[in-house]
Amino acid sequence: MRKPAARRRPAPRAAGARRPRAAATKAATHVYCLVAAAEAPKLQGAPRGLHGTGALRLVAAGSGRWLVVADAPLAAYSADAVNARLSDLEWVGERAMEHEGVIEHFAARGTVVPMKLFTLFSSDARAAADVKGRRDLPRLLARLEDREEWGIRVSVDPVRLREAAAGKARPGPGLSAGTRFLVQRQHEQRAVGAARAEAHRQAEGVFTALLPLAVETRRRPPADVEGATLLVDAAFLVERARSAAFTAAARAQAERHAGSGLLVVLTGPWPPYNFLSPAPAPASRTAAKR
Q: Where are the domains of the chain?
A: 21-144, 147-289
Between the CA of residue 131 and those of 15, 66, 127, what are the distances in Å? 32, 10, 7
Tell which wins on pLDDT, 251 or 109: 251
Which residues does 191 contact at the CB level (< 8 Å), separation at least 6? Answer: 164, 165, 166, 168, 169
Instruction: Band the pLDDT of 176: cuts 50, 70, 90.
Output: low
Amino acid at 259: G
- Please name the residues in contact with 207: beta carbons below 8 A apart, sequence gap of 6 or more: 152, 154, 217, 219, 232, 234
Average pLDDT in the 101-105 region?
A: 95
pLDDT of residue 162: 61
Q: What angle do CA 66, 214, 253 make, to 5 degrees?
A: 130
Instruction: Report which of 92, 90, 70, 94 is spatially closest to residue 81, judged by C-alpha positions.
Output: 92
The model's pLDDT over 42-89, given as tens digits with 9 standing for 90+, comes to 999 999 999 999 999 999 998 889 999 999 999 999 999 999 999 999
SS3 104: helix
Q: Which residues contact 34 (CB under 8 A, 6 or more apart)?
A: 61, 65, 66, 67, 68, 112, 113, 115, 131, 137
Residue 272 CA to residue 279 CA, distance in Å, equals 13
Contact (Cβ atoms closer than 8 angstroms) between residue 229 and residue 170: no
d(CA 159, CA 153): 18
CATH number of 147-289: 3.30.70
Task: Report whether 103 contacts 261 (CB < 8 A).
Answer: no
At 215-262, the pLDDT tens digits run 999 998 876 555 568 889 999 999 999 999 999 999 999 998 887 778
Bridge partners for 147 per DSSP: 239
Residue 181: its pLDDT value, please?
A: 55
Instruction: Say how many C-beta atoms besides its own lie within 10 A of residue 36's C-beta.
Output: 22
For residue 286, give Cα distances in angstroms to 88, 143, 226, 279, 280: 41, 22, 37, 12, 9
